[in-house]
Structure 1
């Protein structure tokens, strides 16, 4: 906690907890780091390993080369698939080219892939609730033959959707959606198609849910909410939306402390601060330090739960020296 000087305007910072890295992001970053340790640089990564510019730039400095397609990778260097998951065609192509590859897909995304396959094997038509063009959506739809999965993005699309057989229908969801928005879409699907099969367990991941609940807990108390995360990060964008719905008077997504417009703080006495699941904690600390340089800061944690989830690394990089 900083010392409050007589001249500094007081500012209370409500720190959301949990915030920042989730287990899937931490695992994906470790996979790239271990791959570089094991095989040396360069190690290729198909798509951004996680959606955060600072994480990507640090891994580039270590020797990671980020590409969008497998065709950009030489066959004599290892390649890592991002945490968002990839279509089945990608590892199949890597195998055909005799490439070394490591799949860093988040285990909770892999769970959605397994669910989709289970429904397909049961001859059900599948609805995927998600955002068009997001790599996780592309990866999930790419687990099954073209046409097997229909993407639904909002309630309006539910109204227009006509399945082949409403009695043989199932849904899965992207893991990083707004919990409330998704519940609304699911409700519309279940109202229109009462026999639709849900996932065994909710697809929205624990980290997305927890970070949204933490923002809800501080949203109504915050004059201003800052969410640290990249503009490509779905879960970070959702935190801004959730904060505004929860009552924050204003909310902004920033990459780091340099993204702050200090005019946002005019008349502000309480700041809510959080970070998306792919944003490192040092960015949070830098925003706090920037505030402390301008205000008399009091820090308060707003904790809704504690996370202790850890995902094992793939065996091929679990011991980098092997």
Structure 2
């Protein structure tokens, strides 16, 4: 085995950076424990690291003691969860990715104008539950092209489409086209909802896949955008595997392969990428080459109350 080709960009996006920093600053400012609703981001290593620092991850708000500090995960939450958290009197910091919040704001605004929505996304994903939970009704979920034929909105003159931010760009475009074919008047977002980081990581895979014999994606099984990277490489004809850590790499995958492509989902930290590189080197890789790629400079501000007055740990 010869070379490891390292995708650029890979790993943490601005929304993930911000969400982790919110939990770390809350711990520094208020002390442990800090309660977090749902995994702050879908990565086992990150969640365990924050648990060690004093974060407690819960799904039900009834598990949080009165007066505690609560952080909403990067995926966003429904109106019902927001209302319940306020009613229980928690101190709340919202780590919802601003690009997800943008979708929530759009839904609220168009709903006031009488719109119903078709949402393209994965059923049961917390981001989808959060976005659909912005309204009591009037959002119809489609997961694939076949679903589009079965959507029954109450009217078709005021329909808008929204998208989960971590989908496959190509799949979303295909489903969007089917939605538009069935509902020609549907209103589309000015800018697509799929986030810049998801798009950039998928674009890097498209460039990298044809140049390598195998693709390794560092990411947790629950991470939507990481799963899409693995699927995309396979669609392009390159065998691809997703690993949560270096221990999951199987020597058999690399037999007879001379070039290994390596990337990481938007919630996977660089420390895991380094461990994977070390393991692949131990299996025989001799060099690491970085691809050219977009440099991401996006940065999102922290919520009031957690800004620069507290040094991040």
Q: TM-score, normalised by structure 1?
A: 0.94
Q: 1:11 maps to what in 2?
A: 2
User: Which 4+ residue blocks in structure 1 deviate beyond 3 angstroms?
Assistant: 319-322
Q: 2:245 maps to what in 1?
A: 256
For the residues of structure 1 that align with 2:120 and 2:200, how far apart are their CA atoms? 20
1:320 is displaced (CA, Å) by 5.3
| Contact 2:42 2:222 (8 Å CA) reproduced | yes
1:177 is displaced (CA, Å) by 0.2
1:62-211 to structure 2, matched below 5 A, reads: 62-145=53-136, 147-211=137-201
1:319 is displaced (CA, Å) by 3.6
Unaligned regions of 5+ residues in structure 1, if any?
Answer: 1-9
> Cα–Cα, structure 1 residues 304 and 296, in superposed 2: closer, same or farther, change >3 Å?
closer
Q: 2:271 maps to what in 1?
A: 282
For the residues of structure 2 that align with 1:169 and 1:298, how far apart are their CA atoms? 52
For the residues of structure 2 that align with 1:62 and 1:281, how far apart are their CA atoms? 19
> Cα–Cα, structure 1 residues 266 and 198, in superposed 2: closer, same or farther, change >3 Å?
same
For the residues of structure 1 that align with 2:214 and 2:128, how far apart are their CA atoms? 32
Cα-to-partner distance string for 1:247-301 (whole Å, 9 max, x where unaligned): 31x1011001001011001111010100000000011111111122231422222
Q: TM-score, normalised by structure 2?
A: 0.97
Q: 1:317 maps to what in 2?
A: 306
For the residues of structure 1 that align with 2:9 and 2:229, how far apart are their CA atoms? 12
For the residues of structure 2 that align with 1:114 and 1:173, how far apart are their CA atoms? 13
Unaligned regions of 5+ residues in structure 2, if any?
Answer: none
Cα-to-partner distance string for 1:74-105 (whole Å, 9 max, x where unaligned): 11320100000001122211221221110000
